[in-house]
Structure formats: structure tokens, C-alpha cells
Amino acid sequence: MTTGDWVAVMPVKRLGAAKSRLRGAVPAARHGDLALAMVRDTATAVLATPAVAELLVVTDDPVTAEAVAALGARVVPDRPAAGLNEAMRYGADQIAGPATHRAVLAGDLPALRPHQLDAALAAARPGRAFVADAAGSGTVLLAVAPGEPLDPRFGLGSAAAHAASGARPLEGDWPGLRQDVDTPADLRTVLGLGAGGHTCALLRDVGLKVACVSAA
């Protein structure tokens, strides 16, 4: 039984529209499967994080909903249907509610380790804080204390936008948390870090010979 008090919120697009810049990394017919595998690995790591009491996935994709629910996540439909920030705000501020510690994170972190997320959430207390991606310009996690609105600023230049909004940047050495996957080059970096079992299995199933060390 978890002893954590954080609700993690993860928005996931419909698989057919997900990860357009990653197209070509696997055969076209398996692109959605790759996106789903990364979501499953991310969800698995989040659910294994001691600080996390619940994973809330905001999605209108039925395949994703079934897969993450089987892992133990709570699934809610994307009622705003108005983009990433509104989905995050809806999940964190309306469904989870402002009385809880809330953290929203990307769903494409297949090398995420539970101890890295645990450390980042500990560092996020108190107030509102964020973790920039490996490139330094994007954001992979935004955390907020009870009583504060999430106020997400995801999109181009989101790290600077979150800092300008008053969120505190977290500087820990968390490579699996920071490395999201937008391009084939990102995927190669993740494989070097050690991707999770779902992503590794998918890549091997499509015939790629990868030295894939499962995330632990």
C-alpha cells in the first residue's frame, strides 16, 4: 500500500495523433504502438513511486485508457478537449482537486525510474516547481502544493514560461525523468539510459536489434 500523498496527472493524446515528430522510428503501422508502449512504461514507473498515491490519466483514447487502467491508473476523459494545458489543469485542479499535492508529467518518459520521480517530488515541496527536459527548454514535470492552482505553461519554451510564472526550477540529476521522446534521436538516447520493458519489447517486435537495458 502506498504511503504517498501526491496525485500524478498524465494527459495522453489519441494515439493516432501522438508523436508526429517521432514518425519513421518504427514502421508506420506500429507508430501508435510505440507511443502506447512509452505511455505504459511511464505509467508503470509513476505507479511504483512511493510518493505517488494515485496516477490520474486524462485521455480520450480508448486503447490507452484500457492499458493504463490495467496497470492501476485512474482514467478520466478529456472534458475540456482544448489542448495539453487545459487537460492538465482539468485533471489537477478539478478532478484531483486543490486540497492535494499534484504533479503533472509527460507521458513519454520510458526511461523514468521511480526513485528519480520520488526525489523530484520531495524537492518540489513546498510551493510550485518544475523539472526542465534534457534540452533545457521544455518541461517534463510541474508540481504544486495544496491550495495553489497548477497554472501550466506547457508548449514551446515552457521551461522559461514556468520560471517566469514563479515556479521554482529543480536541478536534480534525474536523466530518466528529464529525457522525453519527441524524435528518433531522443529514442536512441532513451535506449542508452535504459528504456522500460514495454518500449523494449515493441522495438524488438518490429525487428530492431537494440541493446535495451530495462529501466529499474
Q: Which residues are annotated as a binding site?
A: 139, 155, 158
Pairing of strands 101-105, 52-59: unpaired
Axis crossing angle, helix 31-47 with helix 197-205, rounded to the nearest 10: 160
Q: For the stretch 35-66, what's the b/e string if a residue is b when 16 or more beta carbons lie within 10 angstroms of its beta carbon?
A: bbbbbbbbbbbbbbbebbbbbbbbbebebbbe
Cis-peptide, bond into residue 126, ω within 30° of zero: yes
> Which segments are annotated as binding site for phosphoenolpyruvate?
139, 155, 158
